[in-house]
Every structure is written in C-alpha cells, then in structure tokens.
Amino acid sequence: MQIGADIFCDSQCIIQELDRRHPSPPFAPTADQGLIWCLGRWTDGALFDLGVKIVLGSAGDALPRDFAEDRGRLYLGQDWAEGLKAANAQLPHLVAQMRATLANLDTLLGDGRSYLLGQAPAAIDAQIYYVIWFLRGRWDGGPTLLSEFPDLVRWETNVRSIGHGESSEMSPQDAIAAASAATPASPTGVAPGDPQGLEVGMSVTVSPDVDGGEQPVSGTIRHATSETIVVDRHDKDIGALSVHFPRFGYRVVVV
C-alpha cells in the first residue's frame, strides 16, 4: 500500500495503518486487538501454509509446471518438486490437521455469533476467511469438507456478504508521481530496549524470516518499535521513500 512517499508492506502494516487513519468502523471492535494481531501471524503463516499444501498436494502432477515452481518454491521450499511429492503423500494427514482447525472454529461460532469475535466483523474474520475461500475454490475436496461445519458455513456467508467496497484505478505512473511530490510522513526514532540495538540512520536489510526467494529491501533506519520498522530509501527518479514492515515475521540485518 502506498500513501504518498510511504510504502506499507505486508497486510499487518496495511491493516494497522488503515485502522489508524480510519478508526470507524474499527478492525478490532472488541478489547482483543492484541490477540487479533497474534492470530494474524498464525493465519498468514501456519494456517495458510497448511491450506496451500493441501491444494498443491491434491493437484500433484496436474499443476502447470510454471505455477507449481513459483508457488511451490514459496510454500514448499527451494526443492519444491520434492515438497510437492511430500504434500501429495501426506494429504490425508494435512486434511486431518485442517479439519481439526475448522472444527474448533465451528465450535466457537456455535453460540450463534455472526463473526468470530461477536456481532461485528473484525480483521481476524478476513484473515481466516481467505483461507476458507482458498480451500473451497481451489481444492476439489473443499466444499465437502466445509459442509461438515454448518456454523462455519454460516459465518462464511456473513463475511462474503460484506463485499469488497469501492475502489478506483491508479496507474503506475500516477503512483510514481504521487510519491515524487510527497515526502515521508512517518515519525523518526527507535523505541527503548531494542533487542538488536538498532539506531536511526543505521544501514539494514529487511526480509521475511521464511525464505521464499524474495529479495531483501535495503535502507537506513528511520523508525523502529516492537511492532514495526521503517527504512528510508532514495530513488534517483522519485526521491525519498519510507518503507514500512512489521517486526513480527521479518528479519532485520545490520549491514
């Protein structure tokens, strides 16, 4: 997500920044905000990885090679072909693990609540819904498995009915022009007690802490807390940029 000359990477940063700018309705409508962000790491990590292994493993050799290589490398490791074979061989076990999770969610929703935290939707609903959507739409066995859990299906319908809101297109050229005309708006400073001894101006690279082949982003530290890190970069065509990452799930290396 780009706002002027500030670039927000990962849904954790994006959701929290949107919530800060537009607090009504909130992404965390109860007092469980901290729990939502902790669970978000699980949904985007272990839960989604499990869903991907089920989808890829069930498809096996029927997957187009370029797609299998791209997604397999990201979720099954650099030796994606062997990972694909392993996922296929372990498919009953993987489905059993997902089934247990779906059963727990169904039990949670069994009191008639409309959403996971009550009667109002929260970020965690979206974070779990996309895994359910993926299973239903990308795995032949998804609809049958999900039909075992009527309250979960009811919740799924509630989330889907929220819709996608409204959006407008912006060309890459317009996005670059907006960044060029703006200056980074994030604060500066490092919160006390940083475990890595980070300081403003220090040169670092930032990358996901799970190797999926992504290139690290380099820059100098502008701002760092227990939850986020912001690095400054300079592009010859755009000028100053600040790139925001979550601290949770990302590796910061001093260079």
The alpha-helical segments, DSSP class H, found in 139-252 are 142-146, 150-162, 172-181
Q: In 10 A of CB 255, how many CB atoms?
A: 8
Instruction: Dig out the tokens for 45 from the structure.
Output: 């990590």
Specify the number of domains making up the chain: 2
CA distance to 204, 220, 232, 251, per residue, from 255 (Å):
5, 10, 14, 13
Task: Report the pLDDT value the prediction gives residue 132, as an integer from 0 to 100.
Answer: 97
Q: Please check whether residues 247 and 179 belong to one and the same domain.
A: yes
Phi, psi of 159 (to 5 degrees): -65, -45
Tokens found for residue 48: 């989604």
45 and 150, same domain (yes or no)? yes
Question: Is 20 within a domain?
Answer: no
Residue 95 and residue 41: Cα distance in Å, rounded?
21
Q: b/e string for 192-221 if b means 16 or more Cβ within 10 A?
A: eebeeebeeebebebbbeeeeeeeebebeb
Residue 8 bridge partners (DSSP): 244
pLDDT at residue 73, rounded to an integer: 62
Residue 8's contacts (CB-CB under 8 Å, 6 or more residues apart) are 1, 2, 14, 17, 244
* pLDDT value, residue 225: 96
Which CATH number covers residue 148? Answer: 1.20.1050.10
Domain finish residue from 140, 162, 184: 162
Instruction: List Cα–Cα distances, 97 to 74, 101, 148, 182, 254, in angstroms.
Output: 21, 7, 15, 48, 38
H/E stretch holding 254: strand 250-254
Domain encompassing residue 91: 31-162
Same domain, yes or no, for 134 and 176?
A: no
Last residue of a domain, one of 92, 127, 162: 162
The whole-number mean pLDDT for each consecutive block of 10 residues of the chain, a chain of 255 residues, reads: 95 90 88 82 89 84 63 64 79 96 98 95 94 93 97 98 91 94 96 97 93 83 96 93 94 96
User: Within 10 Å of residue 62's Cβ, how many Cβ atoms?
Assistant: 7
Q: What CA–CA distance (Å, rounded) separates 62 from 67?
A: 11
Q: Which pLDDT score, from 0 to 100, does residue 70 have?
A: 63
What H or E segment, with its residue span, contains residue 224?
strand 217-224
DSSP string, 34-96: HHHHHHHHHIIIIIHHHHHHHHHHHHGGGS-HHHHHHHHHHHH-SSHHHHHHHHHHTHHHHHH
Cα torsion 11, 13, 16, 22 to 10°: value is -90
Residues 233 and 147 in one domain: no
The model carries a pTM of 0.83
